[in-house]
Structure 1
C-alpha cells in the first residue's frame, strides 16, 4: 500500500488540457483527488473518494487513469511512493500488429463455481490493470493493446524482459502500475504455440518467465477442485476484482471466442443525473444501464438520486455530489452518482 500520483495531458488542435490524479492516505483512510483544466489556467478540483480502504481507493484511481488514457490523454509522469510507475503509451499511428487478442466472456459467480468441479478448467486471478501483449523480435520490444494496435512500452519493463532467456516471444497478460502479470505465451523462439492447448502454453510460460524479475509475474493458477475453491475464497478475502476460468484444452482463438471466462465480484458504474431539458418529453434523469446481464434504472431529481434494485442484486449508492452546470443557469444542477453492484459469494454464504 503506497501513495501514487499521475500527471496527464491532452493536446489536439487548439485543445491543451492537463489532468492530475493522486492516491493518498494511510491505514484505512485513503482518498483519490483530481485537478484538471486548461494548461496554465486555474484548475478545477474534486475528491473522487475519501475515507475508504486502500483497495477501494486503488480501484477508483486505476479506473480513472484507464478512462483518461482511453480518451486520448497521455501520461506525462506517474509515480508510486516516489518511484515512477511503469507506463504504457498510446498508439502513435494506430498501426495494427496482426495479433488479435483473445477476450474473456463474462459469467456470474455461481456459473463459474460449477466449473471448479471439472478438471478441464483452471482458475486465475482477474488483475485490475490494462491489457498488454509484448512481442520481442530482433532484440526489440513492442506492446500490443486489446485492440491489436502497436504501442510503446516502458524502458524498465523492457529491461526486465531482457532477462528472459529467449530470442523472441509473444507473451500476453495485464499490466498494472508496477508489474506485468503474464498468463499466456503464444510463441517462443520462432515456435508458434497458439495451436497448442492452453496447458502446453502454460508449461512453456512457467519454463521461461518465473523468477526472472519482480516486475514480471506469471499469474497464479489453481488446478484442482479444492485449490480452485480455496483460490476463490482467497480472492474474496483479498478484495480482488474477481477471477478467470481458463479451459486448459483450448487452443488460442482471437476475439471473444467464448472458451475462457471472467467473473467479477463487484461491478461499478458512474451515472450523470440531471434536470429535464426543455423540449424533451422524457427526462434524461431516467437512465437505463446494462451491467453484465442485469438492468438497473436510476431515477432522480435536482438534488438527489435514488437507486432501484436490479432483480435480486443489491445496489448501493457510494457517493453522490451536486454541482452547478456551467453551461446552464445556476438553477439547473447536475448530480454525479457513483454506485456499486455487490455480488454475494456462494462460497462465503456456504461457509457462514
Structure 2
C-alpha cells in the first residue's frame, strides 16, 4: 500500500486545463483528492471521498477517477493533446465540436432584444459531427471525438455532399439528424465566417430530406421571443444564442463567448434514501399517488455542500426525469428545512420519453451549475 498521484492535461481550442489526482494516507485510512483548473492558475481542491476509507476502497475510487479523466480527453503528456499517450489515441477522430457556456434566463431574455444575436432551438439529442471523406463515405463522431455509426437513412441523404465537408448537429430519435452548423464544405474551411453566413451555406448545401433537417434560424426580437416561449411551452431542452458574426472554434471558452445556451431546467424536492459509501453522492426518492417510493437514482454533492443525511428533504435541479427512475443532468441545490414530506411527490416531476444517454454525451452541462 503506497500513496499515488497523477498529473493530466487537456488543451482543446482556447481551453488549457490540468488535473491532479492523489491517493494519500490519513489518520483512519486513505483519502482521494483532486485538484483542477486552468493551467498556471490557482487550482480548485476537492476531496473525492467523504471520509477515510480502507486502502482497497480508496484505490478503486482513485483508479475510476483517473480512467474517467483519460476517457474524457485528458492526457499524461503535458502538451495536453487529447488522448495522446493513451490506449484511446488511435481511435480518436480529431473532430471536436464547439461547446457553449450557459446563461441564466435574465441574460437570455436580454439577448432576445438584441438584433446582433440570432437563435436556434437546442435539440434534445446526442451531439453528432459528420465528416464526408468521399461522396457516400461518411464518418460520424460523438462529442468526445470518437467514431459512432450513422443511420443508413442519414448516410443516404448526405451521400451527395462533396469530400472535405464537416457538419455539426444532433442525432435525434427516428433516427434523424438535425444540423445547425457547418465547418467545412468541399474542402473549404468555414470556421472564420460569421455564423449567419455559415448557416446560409449549410441550408443551400442540403435540401429537405426525410432523415436530415437544418435547424431553423430565428432573427429579430419578435421571431426570437415567439420561438423562445413556444419551445419552453413544448418542454424543449432550451435555446442556443449566437452573434451573427460568431466564428467557430472547438472547445469551450473559459467564460462568456459569442455562442451561448439557455436550458429550461426544472427544480424538484426529493427525500434522501441512502448516502453512497465513500462517495459524494446520495440516492433520492419521491412518492407516487399511493404513497409508494419511486427511486430517482443518485445525485452528486459538490464540495461546497455538506452531504445531507438520510431522511433529509433536498432540492435538485435537472433537465427532465426518465420514466425508469433517474434524473437527466442533475445538480444538487441544498437541504429544504421549510417543507414537509408532502413536497416530495412524483407529480411534481417533469418527465420526458426515455432515451438512454450515450457514453460521452451530456458532460458539457457540468458548468451549468454556475448560473443557477
TM-score by length of 2: 0.51
Partner residue, 1:173: 169
Do structure 1's residue 224 and structure 2's residue 188 form an aligned pair? no
Aligned to 2:144: 147
Q: Is the 8 A contact 2:276 2:283 kept in 1?
A: no
- Aligned residue for 2:91, secondary structure, equals coil
3-state secondary structure, aligned to 1:142: strand
Whole-angstrom CA distance in 1 between matches of 2:281 and 2:116: 50
Q: Is contact 1:103-1:255 (8 Å) kept?
A: yes
| 1:303-334 Cα deviation digits (max 9, x unpaired) | x55224x8xx899999998xxxxxxxxxxxxx
| Cα 1:315/1:169, change in 2 over 3 Å | closer
CA distance in 2, matches of 1:227, 1:168: 34
TM-aligned CA deviation for residue 275 of structure 1: 4.7
Match of 1:135? 131
Alpha-carbon distance in 2 for matches of 1:187, 1:269: 43
Mark the runs of 5 or more structure 1 residues left unpaired by the alignment. 1-69, 71-91, 322-335, 343-352
1:247 aligns with 2:246: no
SS at match of 2:143: coil
Q: Which residue of 1 aligns with 2:259?
A: 260
Q: Which residue of 1 aligns with 2:370?
A: none
Q: Are the structure 2 counterparts of residues 102 and 320 from structure 1 closer, same or farther at C-alpha, using a change threshold of 3 Å?
A: closer
Which residue matches 1:204? 201
Work out the CA distance in 2 between the residues paired with 1:97 and 1:316: 31
Instruction: Identify the structure with the greater strand proportion.
Output: 1
The answer to whether the 8 A contact 1:166-1:188 is kept is yes
CA contact (8 A) 1:182 1:216 kept: yes
User: What CA distance in whole angstroms lies between the structure 2 residues aligned with 1:223 and 1:136?
Assistant: 30
Q: How does 1:1-352 map to 2 (within 5 A)?
A: 95-139=91-135, 140-162=137-159, 164-178=160-174, 179-211=176-208, 213-257=209-253, 258-267=257-266, 273-275=272-274, 289=301, 299=308, 301=310, 306-308=313-315
Structural RMSD (CA): 4.3
**Matched residue of 2:128: which SS?**
strand
Match of 2:179, SS state, is strand
1:167–1:307 distance in 2 versus 1, CA, 3 Å: same
User: Partners of 2:154 and 2:114 in 1: how far apart?
Assistant: 36
State the match for 2:8 in structure 1: none
* 1:171, distance to aligned residue in structure 2 (A): 0.6
Q: Deviations over 1:63-96 (max 9, x none)?
A: xxxxxxx9xxxxxxxxxxxxxxxxxxxxx98622
- The number of aligned residues is 226
Contact 2:265 2:318 (C-alpha < 8 Å) held by counterparts: no
Q: Distance in 2 between matches of 1:268 and 1:95?
A: 39
Please list the CA deviations of residues 212-260 of structure 1 after superposition, one character each: whole Å capped at 9, or x if unmatched: x121110011111111111111112211111111222111111013321
Q: How far 1:124 moved relative to its partner?
A: 0.6
Query: What is the distance in 1 between the residues matched to 2:153 and 2:313?
Result: 47
> What's the secondary structure of 1:221's corresponding residue?
coil
